[in-house]
Structure 1
Amino acid sequence: MTATPYTVADVMTTRVVAVTPATGFRDVVAAMERWKVTALPVVEGEGRVVGVVSEADLLPKEEFHEHRPGLIEQMRRLGDTAKAGSTSAEDLMTSPAVTIRPDATLPRAARLMAERRVKRLPVVDADGTLRGIVSRADLLKVFLRSDEDLTAEIRRDVVERVFPLSHEAVEVTVSHGIATLAGRVQDPALIPLAERLARAVEGVVDVRCRLEAPSAP
């Protein structure tokens, strides 16, 4: 009933810095420093994502720089000790990469980041080719939509559709992302639906529903 939800394609960064499996350790560090990022997609061929190398993948080299891990520590932290001796992105990266499609919704991207405990996701097409990258900050961009934009969408896609006969009696205001619905409508059963749909509009922080219906005779 509401407008098409925002997708990853709407907020992702399309200019992405990536490295190849053969990229050396120091070049990976230099790229992170130059572009002020904490992780880089690793691509091969025509841009197919094969992994992600992050600061966490690089830190074991510094951690074990001054001491050689004992046998027990090596067994307990096989992945980290292996990365400590690695010199290229191919051996440092986490693979397979956790990726997402451009048409995925923002809640889906947020859930995936939370579940996999990552701060950003490479965005790939059906062939696994890199199309962009989406970060936690990108997902928050929808909350920068203007109050006027949110007001117009709620009135058009929620109020006018849920209350076709009494929508003119409904006042919609949005302040700092908080939407307020006020007025009298004919069908009280539709009030919870209107509140739920308004809350689902991308960029809405909260909804205060003050809709009323005529009392039963």
Structure 2
Amino acid sequence: MAERPWHSGTSASCAKRRSPMEWEGWPRRGREGLIMHMKVRDVMSRQIVSVNGCTPFRDVAEVLHTHGVSAVPVVDGEGHVLGVVSEADLLRKEEFREQFYGEGYRPPLRVRLRERIGSPGRSPAVKARGETAAQLMTAPAITARPYTSAVSAARLMSEHGVKRLPVVDDEGRLEGVVSRTDLLKTIVRSDEEVAREIRDDIVESALWADTSHVRVSVADAVVTLSGTMPRRGDVLTLVRMTERVNGVVDVVDRMAWERDDTPEDG
């Protein structure tokens, strides 16, 4: 068992405003846009823990329990990732279930379904008899590269039902670990940041309308839009754009308009 630290190493004028259609296509910092160009290296943890193939079962279990992680990479003497041992791998052994989870524990439905349809690596029965990390691990490991986009890493986690990905260099050596929590940090922003983006990038830049009477306030990620605009269509566009900004949980529309230019229903 080896714990290995890794050190890392103004208001726009009307002439600059974009039409709503143009705004839909330009590089934005919205819910998808902020992390679109974010790389795994920007959010991964370099202070990581790993085990080697000979690490005993009980020591692997202790690593997960002590460090509060759901999985740990298995590496060789040169740091190449051989596989990953997860809680799901260890829970196949009754003694681990009883020591850390109590009698009667059943793995999550997701884990049971993966076992039923089959997954790469050793069979559950073989893993249940395993005594070392090499015998227990899932191999090959699902990994990411430092230059993998955060979006792609999130997709990998979702597709394979994992919470953590080892990050490896081009030679397969361990450089870090990226978790769901790390990725979530990329979409957590302060109320001030959210309000500034809405004012600068939408209210003052993206709408072909008089926005001089629009007010924006944000509290606990809930945006309140108030004031007046010339047309109802402009208000609907403003609300729709605001809903797409990264970090916005909800939008409260208190806007008024001078003219209803939207088609009548029916």
Moved over 6 A (4+): none
Runs of 5+ unmatched residues, structure 1: 66-75
Q: Secondary structure at the match of 2:123?
A: helix
2:34 aligns with: 5
Q: CA deviation at 1:86?
A: 1.8
TM-score normalised by length of structure 2: 0.62
How far does the alpha carbon of each residue in 1:168-213 deviate from its partner, in whole angstroms, 9 at most, with x for none? 3322111111122333445765655544443333322122344555
TM-align CA RMSD? 3.5
Q: Which amino acid aligns with 1:174?
A: V
> In 2 relative to 1, CA 9–197 (structure 1 residues): closer, same or farther, beyond 3 Å?
farther
> In 2 relative to 1, CA 190–20 (structure 1 residues): closer, same or farther, beyond 3 Å?
farther
Percent of aligned pairs with the same residue? Answer: 45
1:114 aligns with: 158
Q: Out of 33, 46, 52, which is 2:65 matched to? A: 33
Structure number with greater CO (CA < 8 Å, separation at least 6) is 2
Kept in 2, the 8 Å contact 1:179–1:207? The answer is yes
TM-score normalised by length of structure 1: 0.73
Q: Secondary structure at the match of 1:87?
A: coil
Aligned length: 207
Kept in 2, the 8 Å contact 1:173–1:181? The answer is yes
Q: Which amino acid aligns with 2:123?
A: G
1:205 aligns with: 249
Runs of 5+ unmatched residues, structure 2: 1-26, 98-115, 262-266
Higher helix content, 1 or 2: 1
How far does the alpha carbon of each residue in 1:45-71 deviate from its partner, in whole angstroms, 9 at most, with x for none? 654433211121112232699xxxxxx
Q: CA deviation at 1:108?
A: 4.6
Q: Secondary structure at the match of 1:17?
A: strand
Matches within 5 A, 1:146-165: 146-163=190-207
Q: Secondary structure at the match of 2:259?
A: coil
